[in-house]
Amino acid sequence: MDYVLNHIPLSTPRTRRPATLIEPSTITIHNTGNPTSTAANERGWLTNPSNTRRASFHIAVDERGAVECIPLNEAALHAGSAEGNRTSIGVEICESGNYAKTLENAVELVAAMLTERGWGVDRLRRHYDWSGKICPRLMYDDGKWTGWEAFKKAVEAKMNPEVPNVKLAPVSVVVNGNEIADGHIVDGVTYVPVRSIAEALGASITWDQKTRTVTLNTK
């Protein structure tokens, strides 16, 4: 897979390259939301004079390869969240052309990035995790996010080829009589998004990036 460095200038309008140095701790996955755009197109759009959005990303990947648009140690405006922009590398998966090949390239790219940093798939985030936006939209699957789970499993298998693929068994989770987000059973353990549990209980939830601690308060 080709990997091209084509960084946008510091003078790019709308401060799309803030030049703020970061120490990323996660990788955030997006879909471009444009069914006809390639990675080169996405790079070009960042410096297109008709683009009025204050948004950017680090890498775009398509069926041909990947284009790095902003250095990975600088912030990009991709997460819809200040914390996400400060702590996460944004990867845009293009929707055009051979999407199966694009996903294959994305898996290869992300697996290599995680391996290089000594990270596991627990460091992967969706745009949705930062801002609630349905993105990556092609992994949403009517709220079940089965495509997202499959993507993470594919990345994990790429990183650890000796580890067999784990089949995820979906399970419904009910809190106080109300069904919340679907969970999954892996090896007899049920996994469900803690934010969904908190919302169902009317609780607040906070995340401490430094200590990597989730705190749920019911008062």
Q: What are the pLDDT digits (tens) for 87-106?
A: 999 999 999 999 999 999 99
Average pLDDT, the chain: 90
Higher per-residue pLDDT: 128 or 181: 128
**Which residues does 116 contact at the CB level (< 8 Å), separation at least 6?**
none
Q: How confident is the model at residue 218 (pLDDT cuts 50, 70, 90)?
A: confident
Q: How confident is the model at residue 211 (pLDDT cuts 50, 70, 90)?
A: confident
Q: Which CATH superfamily is domain 2-165 in?
A: Peptidoglycan recognition protein-like (3.40.80.10)
Mean pLDDT of 33-44: 97
pLDDT of residue 86: 98
For the stretch 133-190, pLDDT in tens is 999 999 999 999 999 999 999 999 999 987 555 556 677 788 888 777 667 776 667 7
What number of residues does the chain have?
219
**Which residues does 29 contact at the CB level (< 8 Å), separation at least 6?**
91, 93, 106, 110, 124, 125, 126, 127, 136, 139, 148, 151
Domain ranges of the chain: 2-165, 167-219
CB of 74 closer than 8 Å to CB of 81: no
Mean pLDDT of 48-56: 97
d(CA 109, CA 61): 8
pLDDT of residue 13: 96
CB of 47 closer than 8 Å to CB of 8: yes
d(CA 57, CA 16): 8
This prediction's pTM: 0.74
- Of the candidates 134, 54, 138, 125, the one whose C-alpha atom is nearest the C-alpha of residue 84 is 125
CB of 124 closer than 8 Å to CB of 152: yes
pLDDT of residue 219: 67
pLDDT of residue 26: 99
Q: How confident is the model at residue 35 (pLDDT cuts 50, 70, 90)?
A: very high
